[in-house]
Structure 1
């Protein structure tokens, strides 16, 4: 039997801030604060908003205003197929699950149907009839993607495909190939008139290299110029550091190239990018995926220590929050031409090992901890939210919304805090260990989700 991994309880979370993000037909009909929305939107009356996008040379305009909406317009599900590339990944499989849970039909691409047939079995069990898997052997083949988009009348394309190989010693041809693969998906979507939105999963590394004890202020127009410069500097000789720099530079260059493509071709669809920092959280199937990406740290102290380089103090976000942001960016008609910061909270390696030590006291997680590892001092420059966020929630007295290019990142942190209630899968376990884990907040919820996902090695 295929493991379904960590699954939160089925009852809806009674938080207006989360519920109002969802299309109205997915909100609980009995929610007291949703007067007039319990019957949902009339799908036949929904029309895409005409684009009011303005462009700058560096990407989305930072000072653009967005018109107010009394109701957040969204693309209705059912017969609205969403194409998600590379659905076997840690983040992409959670994105897929999130779209399916909201009633959308999802077409997922993988390089090998044989190797990833477990995805079809898993989602057929959870969401019968809504998921189909297709093979695209060459992720840079825009013709193959175009044929799928046209044949299935896809309206939203979620591009999660990315090269990630930190064992590179030279920037080329790795960077050029990364750019070509990214642009292939955009070219395919631009030739298909049915497409209404394209969302790209990008990395926070495209904006800046993580440094400890260094105050930085990030904006929506920033790119990682530091990494781009250093990869061509022969003075950087450390192979591990150089490998990470090449990946960061590739993310920055392909991000800029994608915005240039959209600015020059002016496609009919809305375009948004998510800048995702270190991601923790749910694994959709530990039996089939193992412990990918950051999840590898729960395999034991040695595995955790080997991950410590890429886990220098920085921002993190829960993977299910990342998935929800993709749904919002793809379906909300009032979110367009945005670089969305998926930043939840800051973390340190000491905090992570402390959580793991509490989860498995018999293991020596806290050895070799650098007490002087420092902290992340990066801030995201924000601006006041426009009026179209009013339906979500109104700030309390003395508070103002902080907004960074499309989504108030304070809400991202709020989602994670609310989800602490889902830290344990049953009441007995929750009551027995409540005091040990809830003090760690959403980082603990994310890390502990790994342990609930399957047996540890």
Structure 2
């Protein structure tokens, strides 16, 4: 039994982003129509070209929402939709907390408020992040539960004189998701609500020519091109971006997801594994030598997410090698 009927329209915010584009793609593939919000029509042009070719014209439309924190920003966009995936966020990685955290919180509450004004909405999914629950600490075992929150990053973001931009981003995802659940508890909206917390997203890049600017999806392409910067990010768990999108679809349509935090953690990786995959598949290229052996030892409650993938898509997590190779498809 699906909460959102096939053929109905689902709103995806920030639709031209790396994850959101895949959420649109998986929804279309599953038989839904998609309305995506973009800051300008120009940003949505490539999506029409891609999705019209794959699914036929009229299945996808882009609408402008220039500023997600403006009062009533999504009131028009939600008209006539049956479900919402709120993926848009602030990805500036600024280290100024006041420039990142309040807009993420306000944007989330703005979409939720608009949703409550539209009687036909059956389901609401928030794209949160693993960083809402924890920050990766190499070689330290961290036990994550469904009640875990990244309080340390929130504290650092506001109290440190010069916080790291990644820490501020984590604080914004933590505060944004908490604001959602607080509002849901207070208002008891007439639709189901779930959140998806993916860890490091890598995999296929949908936007033509977008390999070097696809958020975390650009890390492996940069490494492939000789840029060592990604090696300075700590190892984490990875997830194929298509699996993240599939989890959004499952969270939207499956009644068992109401009120749930769904942890999109496939498996831990470390950079030497990715370097080994690159050397194996591209022996003609030179890659950096192995670096330190730091690993992510955290434990996450990912069983429900894996079960949802199996239930709705007949598969579990995509493997690291296939995900890395899909990530490089635009470059090879």
TM-score (norm 1): 0.67
| 1:176 correspondence with 2:102 | yes
**Are the counterparts in 2 of residues 281 and 450 from structure 1 also a CA contact under 8 Å?**
yes
The partner residue of 2:40 within 86, 89, 112 is 112
| 1:201 correspondence with 2:127 | yes
- How many positions carry a matched residue from both structures? 329
The DSSP-based 3-state class of the residue aligned with 1:82 is: strand
**Are the counterparts in 2 of residues 340 and 407 from structure 1 also a CA contact under 8 Å?**
no
| 1:333 correspondence with 2:255 | yes
Distance in 2 (CA, whole Å) between partners of 1:178 and 1:375 is: 30
**Are the counterparts in 2 of residues 273 and 339 from structure 1 also a CA contact under 8 Å?**
yes
Give the aligned partner of residue 21 of structure 2.
93
Give the aligned partner of residue 56 of structure 1.
none
The DSSP-based 3-state class of the residue aligned with 1:268 is: coil
The partner residue of 1:166 within 93, 97, 102 is 93
The DSSP-based 3-state class of the residue aligned with 2:43 is: coil
| 1:103 correspondence with 2:31 | yes
1:309-328 to structure 2, matched below 5 A, reads: 309-310=232-233, 312-328=234-250
The DSSP-based 3-state class of the residue aligned with 2:197 is: strand
**Are the counterparts in 2 of residues 197 and 269 from structure 1 also a CA contact under 8 Å?**
yes
Distance in 2 (CA, whole Å) between partners of 1:290 and 1:253 is: 29
How far did residue 366 of structure 1 move? 2.7
The partner residue of 1:380 within 295, 300, 310 is 300
**Are the counterparts in 2 of residues 155 and 197 from structure 1 also a CA contact under 8 Å?**
yes
The DSSP-based 3-state class of the residue aligned with 1:143 is: coil
**Are the counterparts in 2 of residues 355 and 444 from structure 1 also a CA contact under 8 Å?**
yes
Pair 1:304–1:270, CA change in 2 (3 A): farther
- Bigger radius of gyration: 1
**Are the counterparts in 1 of residues 204 and 328 from structure 2 also a CA contact under 8 Å?**
no
Distance in 2 (CA, whole Å) between partners of 1:259 and 1:179 is: 11
Give the aligned partner of residue 61 of structure 2.
132
How far did residue 189 of structure 1 move? 0.6
The DSSP-based 3-state class of the residue aligned with 2:36 is: strand
| 1:298 correspondence with 2:221 | yes
**Are the counterparts in 1 of residues 10 and 35 from structure 2 also a CA contact under 8 Å?**
yes
Give the aligned partner of residue 264 of structure 2.
342
The DSSP-based 3-state class of the residue aligned with 1:334 is: helix
Distance in 1 (CA, whole Å) between partners of 2:82 and 2:103 is: 27
TM-score (norm 2): 0.91
**Are the counterparts in 2 of residues 140 and 185 from structure 1 also a CA contact under 8 Å?**
no
| 1:353 correspondence with 2:275 | yes
**Are the counterparts in 1 of residues 211 and 217 from structure 2 also a CA contact under 8 Å?**
no
**Are the counterparts in 1 of residues 38 and 65 from structure 2 also a CA contact under 8 Å?**
yes
| 1:155 correspondence with 2:76 | no
**Are the counterparts in 2 of residues 142 and 188 from structure 1 also a CA contact under 8 Å?**
no
**Are the counterparts in 1 of residues 201 and 217 from structure 2 also a CA contact under 8 Å?**
no
Distance in 1 (CA, whole Å) between partners of 2:235 and 2:117 is: 42
**Are the counterparts in 2 of residues 157 and 198 from structure 1 also a CA contact under 8 Å?**
yes
Structure 1: runs of 5+ lacking an equivalent: 1-71, 383-402, 420-441
Once the two structures are superposed, residues 408-453 of structure 1 have per-residue CA deviations (whole angstroms, 9 ceiling, x without a partner) of 48959x9356x5xxxxxxxxxxxxxxxxxxxxxx11101101222x
Distance in 2 (CA, whole Å) between partners of 1:156 and 1:180 is: 20
How far did residue 301 of structure 1 move? 4.9
**Are the counterparts in 1 of residues 270 and 295 from structure 2 also a CA contact under 8 Å?**
yes
The DSSP-based 3-state class of the residue aligned with 2:196 is: strand
- Pick which of 336-345 and 126-135 moved more: 126-135
How far did residue 359 of structure 1 move? 2.7
Distance in 2 (CA, whole Å) between partners of 1:344 and 1:278 is: 9
| 1:455 correspondence with 2:331 | yes
The partner residue of 1:231 within 154, 157, 167 is 157
Once the two structures are superposed, residues 195-227 of structure 1 have per-residue CA deviations (whole angstroms, 9 ceiling, x without a partner) of 110001111001001011111111111110111
Structure 2: runs of 5+ lacking an equivalent: none
Distance in 1 (CA, whole Å) between partners of 2:100 and 2:23 is: 26
Distance in 2 (CA, whole Å) between partners of 1:381 and 1:118 is: 36
Distance in 1 (CA, whole Å) between partners of 2:99 and 2:206 is: 33
Once the two structures are superposed, residues 260-311 of structure 1 have per-residue CA deviations (whole angstroms, 9 ceiling, x without a partner) of 111101100100000010011112233366551233232445654212233x
Pair 1:242–1:138, CA change in 2 (3 A): same
How far did residue 333 of structure 1 move? 2.4
Give the aligned partner of residue 187 of structure 1.
113
Give the aligned partner of residue 64 of structure 1.
none
